[in-house]
Amino acid sequence: MPIPWYRSLRFRMMTILVCILVVTFGASFAFEVQQQRNLILQEARQQASSMAHALLSSLQTLMLAGDGPLAHDWLKRVRSHPSLENVEILRRDGSEAFRDLATIGKVNAFLGRQRFHRRALPPIIPHLPDAAAFRQAVGGKPMTVQQGERLSFLLPIHKDQQCNACHGYDPSPIRGVLVVSVSTRKAMALVRHMRIVVELAAAGGMLLLALLSYAVIRRRVLDPIEQMTQATDDIADGNLEARVDTRSGDEIAVLGRAFNHMTENLQQTMVSKHYVDQILHCMGDMLFVVDPDGRIVLANPASASVLGYAQQEMVGLPISAIVPDGLQLAPSVGHGGDSVPSNAESRFIGKDGQEVPVLVSVSRLEEDAHHHQIIFAARDITRQKAAERELRLAAKVMDTVSNAIMVADAKANIRLVNPAFCRITGYRPEEVVGKNPRILQSGKQSREFYAEMWNDILKRGLWEGEIWNRRKDGEIYPEWLTITAMRDQDGVITHYVSTFQDITERKRVMRELEHLASHDQLTGLPNRKLFIDRLAHAMRLSRRMEKQAALLFIDIDGFKPVNDTHGHDIGDALLQAIAERLLASVREADTVARLGGDEFTVIMENVADVGHVLPVADKILDAMHEPFTIGDIVCRIGASIGISTYPGDSEELDDLIKKADTAMYMAKHSGRNRVCLYNRDCT
């Protein structure tokens, strides 16, 4: 369709070009004329100023002579000068000087004689160029006034020392104002002539520049654009071989190259359309397009595969058969062109009726103002949902497990802890996240311990063992710690997972069990097992130090009648009291043990000879003779003691025990409440 000439780019560009030239030359012309006018007026001002100063010098000479007729004659001759418009001498009040006799009267009165006299002249009305300028001139400031084609220069007449001889009565430094007026008619005529010359020259230059500019614009802009327009029409007609000439190298050429590149891309797009079908075929996600009536018009193979349909079965299928919930478009997917996809989790129904959880993206494709299509892009998230359930289960387990769990990054900075960690250590999550686990160190382990631990972690990926750490309140506690290094598919460590449990209670129970295993439950004294260990230790110590050790076997006389008469509770209390008196009767380094029933033993280490043992045995006998008060019951008992020594009596443990037992029975059979030495009384 042809474009009207008044709407063509050529006409619009010429119009814009002419307007720009008119404005440019108009502004330049106005500026130049104004500059010339100012220059001419400045010359006129300088001429008037020079002439006014020259006239003032002549006037002052005449005033000193005091000859009034001569002054009038001088003014007449000056005013007739062809370059002057007018010359006036005005008093400060604005009246014409040298007309009346007021000044002469004041001078003669000041001098005291009739020094000056002349006849009065009729007054005239002076021409004041500007009242404000005249007042400033009376104040002593030279002024220039422009009125039409007249230029007036106001020059103050200052009173010097010579003037005071006649005008001393007047204190003012200004006597009057000399007004010199010149005509600027010739200068303004010259300005008008110059304006005409400049206008003609500007019009000619503007026309020439417009023609040259149009020629350049047509060649460099309009012709390439017309060529590009023709190429566009050819492409619209299906000729994708059309190209634009780009040899000029300017911006239009750049635009032409872009146009050619766009044409080549369009050509490749048209040629490569089957690639789009290949992409749709290879997509792993579901994609189908729905028309305004809610029926599927296009579906890719992934959609058919996931939902169990054949690809052609889905074409024409109502969307409600797949999306039973009636998935609504998000507010952002509205009218007005392509829209931002709306993402949401939903469920699709397969051909077999099974639900498929999906993450669906819905967007609206506007074909024109009245037609649109809906694009559904969905991803099967069945595995993702299963993984999420497993993660939620793992998180629940982590929150409820009694063992503390701590996850650190590759730099060993804490990233995650569970509630059990907070309960055991006393720290809140925000107090430890981002920090190094060394804040838990108790200081009980050496650097070598930690170096060996990290060596195992980095080499084997695992370390497990007992360690002492410190709670937030400063309490040191034992824990059983397991550290596992987590690696990615490349074998690089990404995280460290630590699990530990507070074993304070376990260690306490173990200590109690160990105590129960080696001590008598009733009296708290070492039992037979610990007694054997202590005796073996005493024998080894005596052998190393070349000393003796003594073993005392003690059998309580009279215990059975007390136990049978008063019951087991009194008997148990009596045994506890006996144990206390035995402990009080021996040295701190000696061992008192209960072997069972009413049999006790004492192991004495590091003794020089038997002479050091007998006093202890006698002390025990005395302690046993003292009555025992159990509740309200007073119990009287005694003891039979047998003694064997190492290595004098035997160097074998079992034999040493047997000989002490033999000596104890010898004491019982000898009347009880006595001490028997094996090597003295039994051999």
User: Please, what are the averages of pLDDT over each run of 10 residues along the chain (683 residues)?
Assistant: 59 71 71 71 71 71 64 71 76 75 73 72 72 80 79 79 70 81 73 73 74 71 70 70 65 68 67 63 79 83 84 83 63 47 76 84 70 79 81 76 90 92 93 92 92 92 93 93 92 93 87 84 92 94 92 94 92 94 94 93 91 93 94 92 93 94 92 87 66
Chain centroid offset of residue 99 CA: 94
CATH topology of domain 519-681: Alpha-Beta Plaits (3.30.70)
Residue 122, pLDDT score = 75
DSSP class of 3: P
Asked if 305 and 288 count as a contact pair (C-beta separation under 8 A), the reply is no
Residues 361 and 363: their CA atoms lie apart, in Å, by: 7
Conformational region of residue 508, where left means phi above 0, alpha means psi within -120 to 50, and beta covers everything else? alpha
DSSP class of residue 511? H
pLDDT recorded at residue 62: 65
Would you say the C-alpha torsion 396, 400, 403, 406 has a positive or negative sign? positive
- Report d(CA 76, CA 658) in Å as an integer: 173
* 401-507: CATH topology: Beta-Lactamase (3.30.450)
| Type and span of the H or E element at 33 | helix 9-65
State the pLDDT at residue 66. 59
Q: What is the pLDDT of residue 274?
A: 58
In sequence order, which ranges of 401-527 are alpha helices (DSSP H)?
Answer: 419-425, 429-432, 447-460, 504-518
45: its two tokens:
């001002």
* Phi (first) and psi of residue 326, to 5 degrees: 65, 60
What spatial distance separates the first Cα and last Cα of the chain, rounded to whole Å?
A: 148
Give the Cα-Cα-Cα angle 281, 285, 289 (nearest 5 degrees).
75
The answer to whether the predicted template modeling score (pTM) of the entire model surpasses 0.85 is no
Instruction: Just give the CATH number of 280-385.
Output: 3.30.450.20
CATH 3.30.450.20 domain extents, the chain: 280-385, 401-507
Partnered with residue 342 across adjacent β-strands are 362
Triad 413, 419, 423: Cα angle to 5°: 100
Q: Fill in the DSSP letter of residue 330.
A: P
**Helix H or strand E segment including 642:** strand 638-646
- Burial label, 608 (beta-carbon count in 10 A; 0-12, 13-18, 19+): exposed
CATH 3.30.70.270 range(s) for the chain read: 519-681
* 510, 511, 514, 515: CA torsion to nearest 10: -140
Integer CA distances (angstroms), 418 to 163, 352, 398, 434, 440, in order: 114, 43, 6, 15, 16
461-483 residue pLDDT tens: 999 999 999 999 999 999 999 99
> CB under 8 Å to 623, separation ≥6 — which residues?
581, 582, 584, 585
> Considering the domain 67-185, what is its CATH architecture?
2-Layer Sandwich (3.30)
* Phi, psi angles (nearest 5°) of residue 137: -65, -40
- Please state, in angstroms and rounded to a whole number, the distance separating the CA atoms of residues 502 and 479: 5
For residue 335, report the phi and psi dihedrals to the nearest 5 degrees: -75, 165
Q: Is the distance from CB of 129 to CB of 145 less than 8 angstroms?
A: yes
| pLDDT score at 481 | 94
